[in-house]
Amino acid sequence: MAAIAKPDVVKGRHIRLMFQDEARFGRMVRIRKCWAMVPERPVVNNGYEREFVYVYGAVSPLQGDLDWMICRQMNTSHMSEFLSQVSEAQ
């Protein structure tokens, strides 16, 4: 940290060391074999169903701060929005 946070670079600004990650939570439905009594045969429509929620998170272990955001999509604009949220929090 001292190597990148030199006084001439920081110029008196507040610095917060944070670690960031993003994750995807959800479900994917896949057709599988199942047990059934003879002569019954289960009928299942074939198809995939996918539902996901994305979580952005950043934690500052020194200050104990946590910033997070939940989205339906993960893309550059949402990441930029999250980074703005983190930089505005003090």
pLDDT tens digits, 38-89? 888 887 776 667 789 999 999 999 889 999 999 999 999 999 999 999 988 8
Q: Which residue would you say has higher pLDDT here, 68 or 7?
A: 68
> What's the gap between Cα 1 and its chain centre?
25
Task: Read off the pLDDT band of 90 (50, 70, 90).
Answer: low
Task: Give pLDDT, residue 15.
Answer: 81
Of 74 and 8, more confident: 74
Domain spans of the chain, in order of start: 16-88
Distance in angstroms (rounded) separating the CA atoms of residues 32 and 48? 12
